[in-house]
Amino acid sequence: MKDLTAALEERARPEGLAWLRETSAAVAADAAALRTKFAMVGRKVGREPLDPSADPADVWAWTVDDAARVLLLLAAGERAEAELAELYRFGDAAERRGVLRALAYLDIEDRGLGLVDDAIRTNDTRLIAAALGPYATKHLSDAQFDQAVIKCVFVGVPILGIDGLPERVTPDGARMLAAFVHERVAAGRDLPPEVWTVIDQYPSAEHIAAIEAELQSPFEDRRAAAERALSYRNVQEQNA
């Protein structure tokens, strides 16, 4: 919390910080104030990256309004939990990200997993990234975590940003991702190089052999896709 406050003080406009302090006091007095104030955060405090060196296109990067919304929820204390579902359900994408970012800071055990699951089911890359923070790492089952990794690769969320990788990789997760990579190669499609960070935790000889076999495919696009995929693996091994 101190880190978020300090970062906001450096990045947010003075009038935005004043609004946040006033609104935090209102929320502390009555958590229901979140219902009207939560949507106003971006306009009042700002929407730029919290880290000035961050790429605005980076789906993993926190924004000023992310941090401000987390602080507002923390101001509500234990009463924040009762507001989460409605704030998420009726919020826009930025408001939903704020709720998801806050989960790791709130003492709600696994009761926020429904929100995480909903976010992962979308195709909103920023929402998925916001869902896959420390809270998800702690509370998702192995099977749920494995599926989340696959979803990230499918929609284009860089998986190295997922909290808990590669430590939470399971043999099943590595195998499923290797099978998915083979499907992509067989379709002549490219894939992100970082998939090998997961696959090579528990390399599946069967699926890697299937990818290598595509080098002999009669179809040029499949051969080219296999060459690219395996070259990414070679680079990964050299840098290990």
Do 136 and 173 fall within a single domain? no
Please count the structural domains in the chain: 2
Report pLDDT for 1.
59
Enclosing domain of residue 73: 1-141
What value does the mean pLDDT take over residues 146-172? 95
Same domain, 183 and 99: no
Domain co-membership, 134 together with 191: no
Average pLDDT over residues 174-180: 97
pLDDT of residue 48: 95
pLDDT exceeds 90 at position 238: no
Tens-digit pLDDT profile for residues 100-157? 999 999 999 999 999 999 999 999 999 999 999 999 999 999 999 999 999 999 999 9
Answer whether residue 223 is part of any domain.
Answer: yes
Kindly state whether residue 155 falls inside one of the protein's structural domains.
no
In a domain, 153, yes or no: no
pLDDT at 234: 85
Residues 27 and 130 in one domain: yes
The whole-number pLDDT of residue 240 equals: 62
Please check the confidence at residue 168 and state whether its pLDDT lies above 80.
Answer: yes
Both 137 and 175 in one domain: the answer is no
**pLDDT band at residue 235, thresholds of 50, 70 and 90?**
confident
Q: Which of 202, 130, 122 is nearest to 154 (CA)?
A: 122
Q: What percent of the chain has pLDDT over 90?
A: 95
In this structure, are residues 150 and 177 in contact, taking their beta carbons and an 8 Å threshold?
yes
Give me the mean pLDDT over the 204-210 stretch.
95
pLDDT 10s digits, 15-71:
999 999 999 999 999 999 999 999 999 999 999 999 999 999 999 999 999 999 999
B/e letters for 6-28, b = 16+ CB within 10 Å, e = fewer, are ebbeebbeeebbebbeebbebbe
For residues 60 and 135, membership in a common domain is answered with: yes
**How far is 179 from 160, CA to CA, in rounded Å?**
19
135 and 188 both lie in a single domain: no
* Angle between helical axes of 81-90 and 93-102 (0-180°, round to 10): 150
From 52, 8, 11, select the one nearest 23 (Cα to Cα).
Answer: 8
The single-letter DSSP state of residue 166 is: T
Judgement on whether residues 17 and 119 belong to the same structural domain of the protein: yes
pLDDT of residue 92: 98
Domain shared by 3 and 120, yes or no: yes
Residue closest to 210 by CA, chosen among 173, 239, 178: 178
Cα four-point dihedral sign 99, 100, 104, 107? positive
If asked whether residues 30 and 118 sit together in one domain, one would say yes
Residues contacting residue 196 through CB under 8 Å, at least 6 positions apart:
232, 233, 236, 237
For the chain, what is the total number of helices (H) and then of strands (E)? 15, 0
Mean pLDDT score, 2-6: 86
